[in-house]
């Protein structure tokens, strides 16, 4: 990780694969923020479409947008790590290429972190359909999650997260199915707490072929995270899994 160059710079991490339809909307939602000290690092993971070309066209007119092209397709964890290595900011924000931020997201969330001495924060959000014409109910962020609470909860949307890496220390993504969930657990295991900002600041796009919609496969990987990465015994893993599934059911009981 490159040492942060300023205390208030936000490095926005955006992995992108086959994202030409949506990545422009993600970039525009960042450019429209009323907090201006950011850099957006979009990593094209060897997309077969024009993802890189779309990003290049934005970067031509907006120097805060930067494109990294991966030499080979290596998955979202590797793409995020490439952006983390290139980022210069104290704060790291995540925004997936098919999601978008709402107006004022960066300003409000950074002010919330400052007021609460938070080193890890996330926000409430709404899901949207693939075409963006259907907007779901508000999924509220709980006030706080520690390591044990996060093991049993699905509350953190990746594209809502901001981390103060000057306080957490350096971190990298693990190449696994839920690289984001594993990172959140790793940081909270260090003794930090994730603070939830209950404000409607993110639109999370649900794609028709999204792996997160494959409930059986997702459940299998949550279980593997408990057992193989977190090292939970079978009884503890089962208890966490039941609670995790219950929270997921509440979150997805309606669109």
Task: Please report the pLDDT score of residue 214 as a whole number.
Answer: 66
Rounded Cα distance between 88 and 207, Å, is: 31
Task: Please report the pLDDT score of residue 217 as a whole number.
Answer: 81
Superfamily of domain 6-209: Spore Coat Polysaccharide Biosynthesis Protein SpsA; Chain A (3.90.550.10)
How high is the mean pLDDT of the chain?
Answer: 93
- pLDDT value at 4 more than 60: no
Task: Please report the pLDDT score of residue 6 as a whole number.
Answer: 63
Task: Please report the pLDDT score of residue 249 as a whole number.
Answer: 84
Task: Please report the pLDDT score of residue 255 as a whole number.
Answer: 86
- pLDDT value at 21 more than 70: yes
Q: Between residues 5 and 101, which one has the greater pLDDT?
A: 101
Query: How confident is the model over 50-70, as pLDDT tens digits?
Result: 999 999 999 999 999 999 999
Query: How confident is the model over 118-160, as pLDDT tens digits?
Result: 999 999 999 999 999 999 999 999 999 999 999 999 899 999 9
- Dihedral sign, CA of 152, 153, 158, 161? negative
- Who's near 89: CB < 8 A, 6+ residues apart? 4, 5, 6, 9, 10, 11, 38, 39
What percent of the chain is modeled with pLDDT above 70?
95
Confidence of residue 2 (pLDDT cuts 50, 70, 90): very low
For range 216-234, the mean pLDDT: 92
- pLDDT value at 212 more than 50: no
- pLDDT value at 210 more than 90: no
Query: How confident is the model over 88-118, as pLDDT tens digits?
Result: 999 999 999 999 999 999 999 999 999 999 9
- pLDDT value at 253 more than 80: no
Interhelix angle 179-189/76-86, rounded to 10 degrees, is 50
Helices and strands (DSSP H and E) totals, the chain = 9, 10
List the chain domain ranges. Answer: 6-209
Rounded Cα distance between 157 and 98, Å, is: 13
Task: Please report the pLDDT score of residue 13 as a whole number.
Answer: 98
- pLDDT value at 192 more than 60: yes
């Amino acid at each position: 990780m490159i040492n942060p160059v300023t205390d208030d710079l936000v490095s926005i991490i955006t992995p992108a694969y086959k994202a030409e339809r949506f990545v422009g909307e993600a970039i525009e939602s960042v450019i429209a923020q009323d907090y201006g000290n950011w850099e957006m690092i979009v990593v094209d993971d060897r997309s077969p479409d024009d993802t890189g070309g779309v990003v290049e066209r934005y970067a031509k007119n907006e120097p805060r947008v930067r494109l990294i092209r991966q030499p080979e397709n290596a998955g979202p964890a590797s793409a995020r790590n490439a952006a983390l290595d290139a980022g210069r900011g104290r704060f790291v924000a995540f925004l997936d290429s098919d999601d978008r931020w709402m107006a004022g997201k960066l300003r409000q969330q950074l002010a919330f972190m400052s007021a609460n001495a938070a080193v890890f924060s996330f926000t409430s959000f709404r899901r949207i359909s693939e075409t963006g014409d259907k907007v779901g109910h508000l999924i509220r962020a709980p006030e706080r999650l520690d390591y044990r609470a996060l093991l049993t909860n699905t509350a953190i949307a990746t594209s809502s997260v901001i981390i103060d890496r000057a306080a957490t220390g350096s971190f990298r993504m693990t190449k696994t199915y839920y690289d984001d969930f594993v990172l959140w657990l790793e940081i909270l295991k260090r003794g930090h707490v994730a603070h939830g900002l209950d404000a409607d600041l993110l639109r999370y796009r649900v794609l028709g072929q999204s792996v997160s919609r494959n409930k059986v496969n997702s459940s299998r990987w949550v279980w593997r995270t408990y057992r193989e990465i977190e090292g939970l015994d079978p009884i503890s893993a089962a208890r966490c899994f039941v609670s995790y599934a219950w929270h997921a059911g509440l979150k997805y009981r309606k669109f």
